[in-house]
């Protein structure tokens, strides 16, 4: 954590004193508080946002792994139904059909993969591209996109 990020977070904790006890809040209020705190951070402009983003991402990774490990070890028979206002319940994950066992599905999937490859080729090609039936392969549009921030550490 960068020094300025740490200083800011410590300052915010001192300002809010007991208000930082997030576990007692309902999920909706936790999200609202997180959004509000982020907006305050942005508006106060006292730290570099990229420093805080990196620090928060690392904390998030730590907590995700921590929670995943706890979830894998928790035993239903030893768990209370409600803890600190949070209901805990267990259920079986849904099952899915194994489509790969069907030869017709496999054939269609292979054709779809081939078609996708042909469409990609047509987009990159400057000349018209034709499929095995002699029909011209259209140049399809792209969807999605937008800016994404990647963090590698």
Instruction: List the domain range (segments joined by +) for residue 25.
Output: 3-87
Which of 51, 68, 87 terminates a domain? The answer is: 87
Q: Are 132 and 61 in the same domain?
A: no
- Give the torsion sign (CA, 57, 61, 63, 68): positive
Residue 149 falls inside a structural domain: no
Q: For the segment 92-140, what is each residue's pLDDT rounded down to a tens digit?
A: 999 999 999 999 999 999 999 999 999 999 999 999 999 999 999 999 9
Q: What are the tokens at 59? A: 């904390």
Residue 148 falls inside a structural domain: no
Q: For the segment 41-56, what is each residue's pLDDT rounded down to a tens digit?
A: 999 988 899 999 999 9
Number of domains in the chain: 2
- Cβ-count burial of 151 within 10 angstroms (0-12 exposed, 13-18 middle, 19+ buried)? exposed
**C-alpha to C-alpha distances, 58 to 8, 39, 76, 105, 140, nearest whole angstrom:** 17, 20, 30, 42, 39
Global pTM value: 0.61
**Mean of pLDDT over the chain:** 87
Of 27 and 25, the one with more pLDDT: 27
Residue 139 falls inside a structural domain: yes
Closest to 139 in 3D by CA, of 128, 147, 149, 150: 128
Q: Are 26 and 83 in the same domain?
A: yes
Q: What are the tokens at 77? A: 């028979």
What mean pLDDT do residues 63-68 have? 94
Give percent above pLDDT 90 in the chain.
58
Residue 151 falls inside a structural domain: no
pLDDT bin (cut points 50, 70, 90) of residue 17 is: very low
Which of 60, 87, 114 terminates a domain? The answer is: 87
């Amino acid at each position: 954590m960068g020094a300025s990020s740490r200083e800011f977070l410590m300052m915010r904790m001192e300002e809010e004193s007991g208000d930082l006890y997030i576990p007692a809040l309902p999920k909706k209020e936790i999200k609202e508080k997180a959004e509000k705190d982020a907006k305050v951070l942005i508006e106060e402009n006292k730290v570099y946002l990229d420093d805080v983003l990196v620090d928060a991402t690392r904390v998030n990774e730590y907590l995700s792994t921590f929670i995943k490990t706890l979830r894998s070890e928790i035993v239903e028979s030893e768990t209370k139904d409600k803890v600190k206002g949070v209901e805990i319940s267990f259920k079986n994950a849904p099952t899915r059909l194994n489509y790969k066992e069907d030869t017709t599905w496999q054939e269609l999937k292979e054709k779809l993969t081939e078609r996708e490859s042909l469409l990609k080729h047509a987009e990159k090609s400057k000349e018209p591209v034709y499929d095995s039936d002699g029909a011209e392969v259209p140049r399809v549009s792209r969807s999605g996109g937008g800016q994404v921030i990647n963090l590698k550490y």
